[in-house]
């Protein structure tokens, strides 16, 4: 399974004890509020539907969700936010894409550049690594909650491009235009979904075998995700299961 997904799954399992839950909730609430500006009905607003799914995935309290929707409907949040994607390189030549929502792009680019340089990476020009990624729908299912045959049958029949297994999870990849149909088919089949998001999926990955490089790469990812203005971080690395467990016991 691709390194990003493997690392995302580790974060997901640790999420209930994560001291940064408040910061995660704040970021998800920002997405909900901005999406809700285009309507409060998730059935008619795909962006809101995805944001609500993300809130569910991080166990965000319903009160927080409803407050975020109300803020978005009232135009209190999101009016001044700008979506900006930064591209660069992590140690080992790993490609990095950083999606942000910011009300001060000068502040954000300075923070992102500082994070890259402090951890052995470099911020690049727009387009320097974007061609290595494609926007795809990514759905994850805990392998203990459904059989591989059932997941593959439902997902592929609904139009998914691929189903991968690893790290105790099934990962379903779908084209952006087929994502919601695949997600709905999984729900209708009674298959519990862990996460369902639109991600930037790398066409190929670089295997990281050196412990020092792996530590630097994961440190950079964590630092970027910890930045208040950063919503999502994508990298094209893969790390051996044994090394990943060693780094994240």
Give domain status of residue 78, yes or no. Answer: no
**What are residue 137's DSSP bridge partners?**
174, 198
What is the pLDDT confidence band of residue 9, given thresholds at 50, 70 and 90? Answer: very low
Which domain covers residue 62, as residue numbers? Answer: 3-73
Place of tokens 């927080």: 64
Between helix 148-157 and helix 179-188 the angle, nearest 10°, is: 130
pLDDT for position 7:
47
Q: Clarify whether residues 157 and 41 are in a common domain.
A: no
Q: Clarify whether residues 188 and 211 are in a common domain.
A: no
Of the residues 73, 96, 117, the one at which a domain ends: 73
Q: Clarify whether residues 127 and 101 are in a common domain.
A: yes
Rounded to the nearest integer, the mean pLDDT of the chain is 86
Q: Clarify whether residues 124 and 140 are in a common domain.
A: no
Q: What digits encode the pLDDT tens for the residues 62-109? A: 999 998 888 888 766 555 788 899 999 999 999 999 999 888 999 999
Q: Clarify whether residues 94 and 213 are in a common domain.
A: yes
- Detail the DSSP E strand segments found in 111-168: 122-123, 133-142, 162-166
Residue 219 tokens, joined: 């440190």
Q: Clarify whether residues 17 and 59 are in a common domain.
A: yes
Give domain status of residue 233, yes or no. Answer: yes
Number of domains in the chain: 3
Q: How much of the chain is helix, strand and coil, in % rounded to 5?
A: 50, 25, 25
Q: Clarify whether residues 108 and 161 are in a common domain.
A: no
Q: Clarify whether residues 125 and 228 are in a common domain.
A: yes
Q: Clarify whether residues 138 and 192 are in a common domain.
A: yes
pLDDT for position 162:
93
Give domain status of residue 39, yes or no. Answer: yes
Q: Clarify whether residues 191 and 210 are in a common domain.
A: no
What CATH number should be reported for the domain holding residue 184? 3.30.70.980
Give domain status of residue 56, yes or no. Answer: yes
pTM of this structure: 0.82
State the first-to-last Cα distance of the chain, in angstroms, to the nearest integer: 18
Q: What digits encode the pLDDT tens for the residues 106-136? A: 999 999 999 999 999 999 999 999 999 999 9
Q: What digits encode the pLDDT tens for the residues 18-43? A: 546 678 888 888 889 888 888 889 88
pLDDT for position 77:
53
pLDDT for position 109:
96
CA distances from 72 to 37, 44, 64, 103, 196 (A): 5, 15, 12, 15, 22
Give the separation between CA 54 and CA 218, rounded to whole angstroms. Answer: 22
Among candidate residues 129, 116, 124, the one with its CA nearest the CA of residue 216: 116
Beta-carbon contacts of 177 under 8 Å, excluding residues fewer than 6 positions away, are none
Of the residues 38, 53, 73, the one at which a domain ends: 73
Q: What is the mean pLDDT of residues 197-207?
A: 91
Of the residues 73, 100, 122, the one at which a domain ends: 73
pLDDT for position 241:
75
Tell me how crowded residue 89 is: count the other CB atoms within 10 A of its CB.
19
Q: Clarify whether residues 27 and 124 are in a common domain.
A: no
Q: What digits encode the pLDDT tens for the residues 225-243? A: 989 899 999 999 988 777 8
Q: Clarify whether residues 10 and 63 are in a common domain.
A: yes
Among candidate residues 91, 82, 78, 51, the one with its CA nearest the CA of residue 214: 91
What CATH number should be reported for the domain holding residue 25? 1.10.10.200
Residue 118 tokens, joined: 């402090």
Beta-carbon contacts of 133 under 8 Å, excluding residues fewer than 6 positions away, are 95, 97, 200, 201, 202, 203, 234, 236
Beta-carbon contacts of 188 under 8 Å, excluding residues fewer than 6 positions away, are none
């Amino acid at each position: 399974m691709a390194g990003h997904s493997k690392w995302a799954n580790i974060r997901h399992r640790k999420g209930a004890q994560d001291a940064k839950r408040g910061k995660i909730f704040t970021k998800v609430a920002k997405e909900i509020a901005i999406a809700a500006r285009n309507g409060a009905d998730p059935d008619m607003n795909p962006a809101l539907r995805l944001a609500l799914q993300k809130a569910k995935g991080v166990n965000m309290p319903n009160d927080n969700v409803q407050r975020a929707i109300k803020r978005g409907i009232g135009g209190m949040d999101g009016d001044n936010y700008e979506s900006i994607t930064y591209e660069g390189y992590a140690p080992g030549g790993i490609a990095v894409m950083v999606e942000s929502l910011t009300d001060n792009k000068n502040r954000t680019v300075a923070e992102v550049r500082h994070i890259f340089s402090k951890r052995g990476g470099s911020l690049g020009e727009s387009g320097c690594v974007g061609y290595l990624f494609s926007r795809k729908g990514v759905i994850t299912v805990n392998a203990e909650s459904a059989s591989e045959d059932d997941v593959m049958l439902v997902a592929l029949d609904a139009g998914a491009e691929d189903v991968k297994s690893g790290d105790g999870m099934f990962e379903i990849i779908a084209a952006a235009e087929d994502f919601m149909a695949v997600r709905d088919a999984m729900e209708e089949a009674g298959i519990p979904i862990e996460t369902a998001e639109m991600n930037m999926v790398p066409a190929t990955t670089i295997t990281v075998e050196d412990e020092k490089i792996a530590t630097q790469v994961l440190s950079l990812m964590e630092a970027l995700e910890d930045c208040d203005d950063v919503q999502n971080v994508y990298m094209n690395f893969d790390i051996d299961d044994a090394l990943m467990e060693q780094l994240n016991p």
